Amino acid sequence: MVKMEKENWHALELDEVFESLETDRQGISDEEAERRLEVYGPNELREEEGRKWYHLLWEQFTSILVVILILSAIVSAYIARIEGEPMTDTYVILIIVVLNAILGFVQEFRAEQAVEALKAMVSPHVLVLRKGREEDIDSKELVPGDIVLLEAGSRVPADARLIEAANLEIDEAALTGESRPVSKRLGVSEKDASLGDRKNMVFMGTVVTNGRAIAVVTQTGMNSQFGRIAGMVQAIEVEEPPLRQKMEKMGRQLAQISVILTIFVFFVLWFVHERTLQEVFMTSVSLAVSAIPEGLPAVLTITLALGTARMAKQNAIVRRLASVETLGSTTVICSDKTGTLTRNEMTVTRLNVKDRTVEISGAGYAPSGEFTEDDEKIDPLEDKDLELLLRIGALNNDAHLQENNGSWICFGDPTEGALVTSAAKAGLKKSELEEKYPRVGEIPFDSTRKRMTTIHRTPEGKLFAYVKGAPEILLDLSRKIVDDGVREINEEDLREKQSEMKSMAADALRVLGMAYRELPDDYDLENLETEELERELVFVGMQGMIDPAREEVPEAIRVAQLAGIRPVMVTGDHRITAVAIAQQIGILEEETQESVLEGYEIEAMTDEELDSTIEHVRVCARVSPEHKMRIANSLRRRGHIVAMTGDGVNDAPALKAADIGVAMGIKGTDVTKEASDMILEDDNFATIVRAIEGGREIYTNVTKYIRLMLAANFDEFIEITVTALLGLPVPFLPIHVLWVNLVTDGLPAVALSIDPPDPDLMRYPPRDPKEDILRRFWRFLLFAALVDFISDFIPFFYVYLTTLTNTGNPELAAATARTVAFTSIVFFEFILAYQCRSETKHIFQLGWEGVTANKMLFVSVLVGLALQLMILYVPFLNEVFHVVPLTRFQLGLCVLGSFTALLIIPQRLIPKRVYVEH
């Protein structure tokens, strides 16, 4: 029976593969295929039973705060009914609940689609050989041992070992992240070869870009490489975002306090003061409603939505609202190198010809830059050997550059694009060179030969072979060297060139050598032979190139480190290249054994060994996607909040395992985007840092309006409790509490959600994601609530006594005192909103600029004041809110009491965050 669990199909001889799969070049029979289909199942990515849409929808209503809101709506409806009033409050609360549910459902439903994106990459049909007969079948019916026929444009339907291949090139970007098509060939690969190095294998989901092939299927469905990725994605359990956990915890705490005190007050009123059941019920309901910030879920959703909109303008697309807050807690950023930390544009920065070393400025493919030698500007065209070096690089080349809206794009191999650019910087345009030196023959690049040769005819009619490739190989093939003419190459020349190669390699430069050979005029261009053509060369020089760091990255690294965030480079590149770039951009100061980790070392480590090492690591080189997932898990076990970048399909598990999975918008696949929490539209590391700053800003603003809302809730709670215990009329009716919670606090809260950020925001260390909001702010909340209580209760009690004495009407006295308490808390909250703008400064320290900096807050306070005055002096609204018009003296008491909010000093009541020391 076929052994599907084999992992070394690439390392077996072809005969062994056929034997293990019990097949041959003609393929299996239809009957055998049916039997195997029953054993191994269809060739598809099976999805574990996920949460149904109605489960996701139901979960939106199970949050403790939402449950309390629903109960509040029911109670509000009951009170409105028995008092014969419109159910406005009920409708408002229910609208908030429904909007919350819709937003949450849409976000989570989208988050469930990662495996669906993988499925979309599987070919629907495939051409197979069954006992020598071609058949077009549904790819789901494919089984191990089937022989598949592939041609340009085909999507590979399953993992398979090549039997025949003609000029076969496969786009494996979806699987390995390799941006260029990979040449495939027959033969046996090393047993420990990485996925990208298994040249004799093709994999499900990849695309044939050139040539044709015949292959035998080795693994299908969930046993394929794509299947393994799908299985890993499904197996990862995604934890609740920290913000949601905090809101749930806070909701439970408030609910517990509310239930205990409501029951206590109920018994005091019923048994001690012997109030009527309706009075007791109304007071208890007011007390219960006062403990819950009804407007919080709505304002929270609005804040996160506005935050994601702001981030989108900065090229960071946040896919899950709750992830916005998690971003602000990030402690480690694991970033790819190519395209994220670097430009993904190869750039020639150094030339070597004769004994001269020339530096070239400029980055990317823009044909602008200066040539300098010993810090002095030079004209490379004044030296014929330098000109020849640049000319060979441009002509022995299949790439070309094109300007598009002010930016230059390379069409073709990025390495060749760099050579075209270096020549263009000297004024040697490729199009003009090709007219002057037309190509009349070529031997394409070959990974075995490690070189490419083109033949050109000069204006004088002479033939020259231009060769570019690995410099050590070209030196072996060279008999002569340019040196203001041409002379025999000697041992000293070889030592000098080898020394220069090492110097370039130490600076992470990729080095290409250039050489030429003059050919006879009658050279046979129809039958080019490699060995005969590429001999007795004249070595010209070398061009060293690098994928340079993005200009903004070093500053972004500095900002991240200042904020207590550790950037870690995670790349498939070689150690020497990774270290050089890491040192250039500031990730790594000094290379040590502890600071750099390679893939083979991770492979040999247990989880415990990796955990003990990971804290010191700054660079991970030659790593696979599986290593990336282990790195993310190790950091999380150490208590870190991890942001991980990725672009290939096999990065999806690592992205899902991280706290914040960051997909690339330009080179990322649909699968990684679906598995991610955030997408970078510009693939830029600096965008991640800006997004983290945005996450911190949003969380800080969330805590501002939580302080505002809970201060009012605590005051209402205390005041209702105290007046109940003293046997006084209830100071707030349920409609008053709901008005304060939803409108009076809601308007400034929305304004606070877009409050300008603290300029020192990125100088604080990441906050603890498990931080208890109530515990951190309890002193502020308690003090603010007590001050608010005093500023409300004194006018309330005074007005109640004086009105009762003057009129002898207890109902009028209660209504007037209640109106004063209601108005006092509204005015108090407006001033407190400004106090909540800062954790470290008093409103007087903020000054006039602090008052006017948030224009939205200023407008919201004015609107709130206008609405409150309308409630007091518009007869219709008097009846709806059960208030009476206040005299100027009574209104003055409310205004005077509200200014007690200025007594609250945030910096003495809120624990300070310490700056990160550097």
Contact 618, 595 (CB under 8 A): yes
> Which residue from 334, 319, 242, 322 is spatially nearest to 767, judged by alpha carbons?
242
Per-residue tokens: 138: 């549904």
Residue 122: pLDDT over 60: no
What pLDDT is attached to residue 4? 47
pLDDT digits (tens, 9 = 90+) for 866-903: 999 999 999 989 988 889 999 999 999 999 988 887 77
pLDDT digits (tens, 9 = 90+) for 158-187: 999 999 988 888 888 667 656 567 888 888
Q: How far apart are CA 118 and CA 109, in angstroms?
A: 16
Q: How far apart are CA 794 and CA 247, in angstroms?
A: 34
Assign 746 to helix, strand or coil: helix
Rg, the chain, Cα only = 36
Residues with a catalytic annotation lie at 336
Q: The dihedral of CA 825, 826, 829, 830: what is its sign? A: negative
Assign 224 to helix, strand or coil: coil
Assign 135 to helix, strand or coil: strand
Q: Which residue has the higher pLDDT, 515 or 78?
A: 515
Contact 45, 221 (CB under 8 A): yes
Main-chain dihedrals φ then ψ at residue 569, nearest 5 degrees: -80, 125
Q: How far apart are CA 721 and CA 287, in angstroms?
A: 7
45: pLDDT confidence band, cut at 50, 70 and 90? confident
Amino acid identity for residue 373 in this structure: E
Per-residue tokens: 891: 């209104």
Q: Which DSSP category does 204 fall into? A: T
Q: Which residue has the higher pLDDT, 237 or 881?
A: 881
What pLDDT is attached to residue 177? 59
> Which residue from 487, 544, 488, 478 is spatially nearest to 516, judged by alpha carbons?
478
Average pLDDT of the residues in 260-286 = 74
Average pLDDT of the residues in 634-648 = 91
What pLDDT is attached to residue 238? 63
What pLDDT is attached to residue 216? 96
905: pLDDT confidence band, cut at 50, 70 and 90? low
Q: CB-hemisphere CA count at 13 Å for 794?
A: 12
Q: What share of the chain is helix, strand, coil (3-state, %, to 5)?
A: 50, 15, 30
Per-residue tokens: 535: 């001999």
Most confident of 94-103, 186-195, 496-505, 907-916: 496-505
What pLDDT is attached to residue 114? 46
Q: Which residue has the higher pLDDT, 817 or 700?
A: 817
Tokens 């624990």 found at: 911
pLDDT digits (tens, 9 = 90+) for 412-424: 788 899 999 999 9
Q: Which residue has the higher pLDDT, 411 or 668?
A: 411
632: pLDDT confidence band, cut at 50, 70 and 90? very high
> Which residue from 900, 779, 915, 762 is spatially nearest to 843, judged by alpha carbons?
900
Of 90-94, 290-294, 452-456, 529-533, give the lowest mean pLDDT range: 290-294
What pLDDT is attached to residue 115? 44
Q: Which DSSP category does 858 fall into? A: H
pLDDT digits (tens, 9 = 90+) for 52-88: 667 767 777 777 767 777 877 787 777 677 667 677 6
Three-state SS annotation for 443-499: EEEECCCCEEEEEEECCCCCEEEEEEECHHHHHHHEEEEECCCEEECCHHHHHHHHH
pLDDT digits (tens, 9 = 90+) for 706-731: 888 888 888 888 888 888 888 888 89
Average pLDDT of the residues in 654-681 = 83
> Which residue from 258, 262, 257 is spatially nearest to 283, judged by alpha carbons?
262
What pLDDT is attached to residue 117? 54
Average pLDDT of the residues in 344-350 = 90
Contact 599, 624 (CB under 8 A): yes
CA 850: distance to chain centroid? Answer: 33
Helices and strands, counts by H and E, the chain: 35, 28
What pLDDT is attached to residue 543? 97
Contact 169, 183 (CB under 8 A): yes
Bridge partners of 214? 149, 164
Assign 247 to helix, strand or coil: helix
Q: Which residue has the higher pLDDT, 842 or 533?
A: 533
918: pLDDT confidence band, cut at 50, 70 and 90? very low
What pLDDT is attached to residue 369? 93
Amino acid identity for residue 194 in this structure: S
- Beta-carbon contacts of 19 under 8 Å, excluding residues fewer than 6 positions away, are none
Q: Residue count of the chain, please give it.
A: 918
What count of other Cβ atoms lies within 10 Å of the Cβ of residue 539? 26
Contact 411, 397 (CB under 8 A): no
Q: In angstroms, what CA-CA distances link 638 with 171, 240, 570, 614, 633?
A: 37, 18, 18, 9, 9
Q: Which residue has the higher pLDDT, 766 or 119?
A: 766
Residue 849: pLDDT over 80: no
pLDDT digits (tens, 9 = 90+) for 540-581: 999 999 988 888 999 999 999 999 999 999 988 888 888 989
Residue 18: pLDDT over 90: yes
> Which residue from 518, 516, 476, 517 is spatially nearest to 497, judged by alpha carbons?
476
What pLDDT is attached to residue 894? 93
> Which runs of E-coded beta strand occur in 329-422?
332-335, 347-353, 356-360, 371-373, 376-378, 400-404, 407-411
Residue 595: pLDDT over 90: yes
Per-residue tokens: 341: 């930390």
Q: Which residue has the higher pLDDT, 398 or 323?
A: 398
What count of other Cβ atoms lies within 10 Å of the Cβ of residue 380? 23
Contact 123, 2 (CB under 8 A): no
What pLDDT is attached to residue 213? 93
Domains belonging to the chain, first-starting first, are 9-47+118-234 (2.70.150.10), 240-310+696-757+772-909 (1.20.1110.10), 316-341+551-683 (3.40.50.1000), 347-546 (3.40.1110.10)
Q: Which residue has the higher pLDDT, 337 or 917?
A: 337
Assign 220 to helix, strand or coil: coil
Q: How far apart are CA 909 and CA 782, in angstroms?
A: 10
> Which residue from 565, 371, 393 is spatially nearest to 467, judged by alpha carbons?
393
Most confident of 17-26, 296-305, 406-415, 827-836: 17-26
Q: Average model confidence (pLDDT) for the chain?
A: 85
Q: In angstroms, what CA-CA distances link 885 with 818, 823, 869, 870?
A: 11, 11, 9, 10
What pLDDT is attached to residue 109? 63
> Which residue from 673, 418, 362 is spatially nearest to 372, judged by alpha carbons?
362
Q: Which DSSP category does 76 fall into? A: H
- Beta-carbon contacts of 609 under 8 Å, excluding residues fewer than 6 positions away, are none
What count of other Cβ atoms lies within 10 Å of the Cβ of residue 321? 22
Residue 361: pLDDT over 90: yes
Q: What percent of the chain has pLDDT over 90?
A: 40
What pLDDT is attached to residue 395? 96
94: pLDDT confidence band, cut at 50, 70 and 90? confident
Pairing of strands 660-664, 678-680: parallel
Per-residue tokens: 867: 């609405």
Q: What percent of the chain has pLDDT over 70?
A: 89
pLDDT digits (tens, 9 = 90+) for 362-406: 988 999 999 999 999 999 999 999 999 999 999 999 888 988 877
The two most distant CA atoms of the chain are separated, in Å, by 126
Residue 22: pLDDT over 90: yes
Residue 3: pLDDT over 60: no
Residue 449: pLDDT over 50: yes
Q: How far apart are CA 916 and CA 564, in angstroms?
A: 6
The helix (run of H) or strand (run of E) holding residue 59 is helix 53-59
596: pLDDT confidence band, cut at 50, 70 and 90? very high
Average pLDDT of the residues in 471-497 = 94
Distance separating the N- and C-terminal Cα atoms of the chain: 63
- Beta-carbon contacts of 132 under 8 Å, excluding residues fewer than 6 positions away, are 26, 27
